[in-house]
């Protein structure tokens, strides 16, 4: 079984390799693929040196699975070329997410929808994944009417250059290379991705549209404000969810505790609640600050944290690949 990791030299690509190793993902041959400027570079992985190859060579090798983390334009151009030779592409970019002919998959929620005909599978946005995974058991029990979410997102979501900007600012460098339109260290930017004509950012619209698609329910009302903060380790979200039915807090906690991939950290009297510093390098989604919204009926407040490079990207993609193998879909 040939496995290709496209974008292997980037932040998410490196994380994919870590997750593959931790999960003991079975493959016979690993192809590390990147842009032309990285072709020929040597990467040591699991005690063996691998030479980075280009996209055309990777297509010619006809891998069974290719996990993409190389940006939307690369995915739009190359994912169909891999699919044409029979490769199943799991794509981390936003290129295919809202394509009605492509599945948008969080394995714990909707992997069962996948078939052998699905040659390009979309990985949802990092901030969407952690929210929907935590909401899934509650949606089944109570029904969801409306979601209001505000995010507090790590600079790692932008990439290595953004981390470099923040660390250069923290070190007091005079003219650090700027990725964001403003300083990020000791600051908060209410702006992730490009502003749209409706005043929302592209990131906010991703959360709105992807949530409905993953849940297969356009009746759910979603509004989002996405914010970049000077942290590493993971994204945090304040989620206010209005259910169709009333709920019991003890039952909510039990449902979440029984959900694979979710860890409840909710003991405020002992200062126990999810934080990105503790979610770093973890595959799970952490949930806490569970409390009733006392301003309106049937509404819950919750705080959700996950490592955006893990469950928000690499881990989710690897889990999709594992599902494909386990169910003989490749």
Catalytic pick among 23, 126, 140, 280: 126
Residue 153 annotated in ligand binding: yes
Instruction: Collect all residues with Cβ–Cβ distance below 8 Å to 176 and sequence separation of at least 6.
Output: 164, 165, 168, 169
pLDDT tens by residue, the chain, 330 residues: 999 999 999 889 999 999 999 999 999 999 999 988 899 999 999 999 999 999 999 999 999 999 999 989 999 999 999 999 999 999 999 999 999 999 999 999 999 999 999 999 999 999 999 999 999 999 999 999 999 999 999 999 999 999 999 999 999 999 999 999 999 999 999 999 999 999 999 999 999 999 999 999 999 999 999 999 999 999 999 999 999 999 999 999 999 999 999 999 999 999 999 999 999 999 999 999 999 999 999 999 999 999 999 999 999 999 999 999 999 999
**Cα distance between residue 162 and residue 78, in whole Å:** 26
Q: Would you say 38 is a known binding-site residue?
A: yes
pLDDT of residue 254: 98
Q: Is 141 annotated as a binding residue?
A: no
pLDDT of residue 322: 98
235 in active site: yes
At the topology level of CATH, where does 2-123+313-326 sit? Rossmann fold (3.40.50)
Q: Which two tokens stand for residue 4?
A: 């290709």
9 appears as a binding residue in the annotation: yes
Residue spans per domain, the chain: 2-123+313-326, 127-308
pLDDT value, residue 226 = 98
Please name which of 73, 35, 78 lies closest in space to residue 59, comparing C-alpha atoms.
78
Model pTM greater than 0.85? yes
Contact 203, 127 (CB under 8 A): yes
Asked whether residue 156 is marked as a ligand-binding residue, the answer is no
State whether CATH 3.30.70.1450 applies to domain 127-308.
Answer: no
Helix (H) or strand (E) holding 141: helix 126-142
Predicted local confidence at residue 182, as pLDDT: 97
Find out whether 324 is annotated in a ligand binding site: no
What pLDDT shows up at residue 230? 98
Q: Is 140 assigned a catalytic role?
A: no
pLDDT at 80 (0 to 100): 97
Rounded distance between C-alpha atoms, residue 147 and residue 109, angstroms: 18
DSSP state letters, 71-125 = -HHHHHHHHHHHHHTTPEEEE-SSSSTT-TTSEE--HHHHGGG--TT--EEEPPP
Residue 37 has what DSSP assignment?
G
What is the pLDDT, as a whole number, of residue 291?
Answer: 98
CA angle 255, 315, 39 (to 5 degrees): 170
| Predicted pLDDT at 53 | 96
pLDDT of residue 88: 98
Q: Check whether 189 is labelled as a binding-site residue.
A: no
Whether 298 has a binding-site annotation, put simply, is: no
Q: Which of 23, 50, 182, 235 is catalytic?
A: 235
């Amino acid at each position: 079984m040939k496995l290709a990791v496209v974008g292997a030299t980037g932040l998410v690509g490196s994380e994919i390799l870590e997750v593959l190793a931790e999960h003991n993902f079975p493959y016979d041959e690993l192809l590390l693929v990147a842009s032309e400027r990285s072709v020929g570079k040597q990467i040591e992985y699991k005690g063996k040196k691998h030479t980075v190859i280009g996209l055309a060579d990777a297509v010619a090798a006809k891998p069974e699975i290719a996990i993409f983390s190389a940006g939307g334009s690369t995915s739009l151009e190359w994912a169909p070329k891999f699919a044409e030779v029979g490769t199943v592409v799991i794509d981390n970019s936003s290129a295919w997410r809202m394509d009605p002919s492509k599945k948008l998959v969080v394995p714990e929620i909707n992997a069962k929808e996948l078939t052998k005909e699905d040659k390009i599978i979309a990985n949802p946005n990092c901030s969407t994944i952690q929210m929907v995974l935590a909401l899934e058991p509650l949606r089944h029990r109570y029904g969801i009417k409306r979601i209001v979410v505000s995010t507090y997102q790590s600079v790692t979501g932008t990439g290595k250059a953004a981390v470099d900007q923040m660390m250069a600012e923290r070190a007091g460098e005079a003219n650090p290379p700027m990725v964001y339109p403003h300083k990020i260290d000791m600051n908060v930017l209410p702006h992730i991705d490009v502003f749209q004509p409706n005043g929302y950012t592209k990131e906010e619209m991703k959360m709105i549209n992807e949530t409905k698609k993953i849940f297969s329910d356009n009746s759910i009302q979603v509004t989002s404000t996405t914010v970049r903060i000077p942290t590493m380790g993971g994204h945090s979200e304040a989620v206010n969810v209005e259910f169709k039915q009333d709920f019991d807090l003890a039952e909510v906690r039990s449902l979440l505790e029984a959900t694979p991939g979710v860890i409840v950290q909710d003991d405020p009297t002992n200062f126990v609640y999810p934080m990105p510093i503790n979610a770093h390098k973890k595959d799970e989604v952490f949930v806490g600050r569970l409390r009733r919204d006392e301003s309106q009926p049937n509404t819950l407040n919750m705080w959700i944290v996950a490592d955006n490079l893990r469950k928000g990207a690499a881990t989710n993609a690897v889990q999709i690949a594992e599902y494909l193998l386990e169910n003989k879909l490749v």
